[in-house]
Amino acid sequence: MNILIIGASGHAKVIIDIVEKEGKHQLVGLIDAKAQKGDTHFGYPLLGTEADLPAICKAHDVTAGIIAIGDNWIRQKVRDKLLHIKPDIQFATAVHPTASIGKGTQLGPGTVVMAGAIINPDCVVGEHCIVNTNASLDHDSVMGDFASLAPGAVTGGGVNIGAFSAISLGVKVIHGITIGAHTVVGAGATVYKDLGEQVIALGTPARVAKTREIGDRYL
């Protein structure tokens, strides 16, 4: 299947590397809101902007894309824009060959699983999630759509991470915890108790530091 990557950041380089190593899809190039035709990114051509998507898909027989944007809320906004421009666009998953995906686990379209990540059996990972380098999601856990685990984040079993929530670098979440939607857990925190929606939690044990609005930047 011929695919595009949407976004031309450092995050896109990681996804390019995964797509190349996985060998399931043929990457024809990238699109980006600030693309200049003729430029390249990590060896692949920048083919245009989101507005050029229908023409690019027709010219290159593209049927799917992967959105290479780290911010969970912006990733969703871009997904919605792409579907508005080209309603039949599909979204591919990308799983690094060194990642471990357990039996019975489900990965939603557009989700990316990076090098060394572990997703143990019977997890449900929603659409357009990021399970980053050496992150670990233990058995029977759930990640809502557009949620993310940063590098080195680790959960116990039976954890429920709400849609759009971001679990930052090196966070540890003990088993059975629920984290509400649109919540950010700061780097290095340890989560021993449930966290609600739209909060920022910091420290060990993690405590709510403040609330946040949907769509607030965190990267």
Tell me what percent of the residues of the chain surpass a pLDDT of 70: 100
Q: State if pTM tops 0.75.
A: yes
Residue 38 is predicted with a pLDDT of 82
Domains and CATH numbers, the chain: 2-91 (3.40.50.20), 99-211 (2.160.10.10)
Residue 190 is predicted with a pLDDT of 98
In 53-155, the DSSP E strands lie at 62-67, 90-91, 94-95, 100-101, 106-107, 112-113, 118-119, 124-125, 130-131, 136-137, 142-143, 148-149, 154-155
Rounded Cα distance, 78 and 71, in Å: 11
Rounded Cα distance, 126 and 141, in Å: 11
Place of tokens 């992150």: 135
- In whole numbers, what is the pLDDT of the chain averaged over residues? 97
pLDDT digit string, tens, across residues 131-184:
999 999 999 999 999 999 999 999 999 999 999 999 999 999 999 999 999 999
Residue 70 is predicted with a pLDDT of 97
pLDDT digit string, tens, across residues 82-122:
999 999 999 999 999 999 999 999 999 999 999 999 999 99
Residue 91 is predicted with a pLDDT of 98
HSE at residue 40, side-chain half, CA atoms within 13 A, is 4
pLDDT bracket for residue 36 (50, 70, 90):
confident
Q: Which helix (H) or strand (E) holds 199?
A: strand 199-202
| 50: helix, strand or coil | helix
**Can the peptide bond before residue 205 be classed as cis, meaning omega within 30 degrees of 0?**
yes
To the nearest 10 degrees (0 to 180), the angle between helices 72-85 and 53-60 is 70
Rounded Cα distance, 153 and 137, in Å: 8
> Is pLDDT of 37 > 80?
no
Q: Give mean pLDDT, residues 200-216.
A: 98
> Is pLDDT of 35 > 90?
no
